Amino acid sequence: MSAYVFSVVNKTDRDTYERYSEAGYLSILPYRPEVTVAESPEVIEGKFPGTTTIMMKFKTMEDAKAWYHSDLYQKAIPLRHAASDTSFVIMFPGAD
């Protein structure tokens, strides 16, 4: 069963976030998820907590967890923390 990783990010340092994006991209290559990115989501109701939304569909929950815990992504996380406030990241199984 597939799994989705969904993030809402509020960028505070665009230069550092660009470095995170590059490192994050390299970390997902071995897992080949489908990636949907909305840099500037159109808010139609309420106050949205971020500047960026990211959704990735992995083939399995195991792949999603393996990516998150991979050495490459763990090294990228401090860049994300330095460059943004991440409101939340959710992993959940998807219906195929």
Domains in the chain, start-ordered, CATH in brackets? 3-39+49-93 (3.30.70.100)
pLDDT tens across 77-90, in order? Answer: 999 999 999 877 77
Amino acid at site 85: D
pLDDT tens across 41-94, in order? Answer: 889 999 988 988 999 999 999 999 999 999 999 999 999 999 999 877 777 776
Going by the DSSP 8-state scheme, the letter that residue 38 receives in this structure is: E
| Separation CA 89–CA 43 (nearest Å) | 19
Alpha carbon 14 to its chain centroid, in Å, reads 16
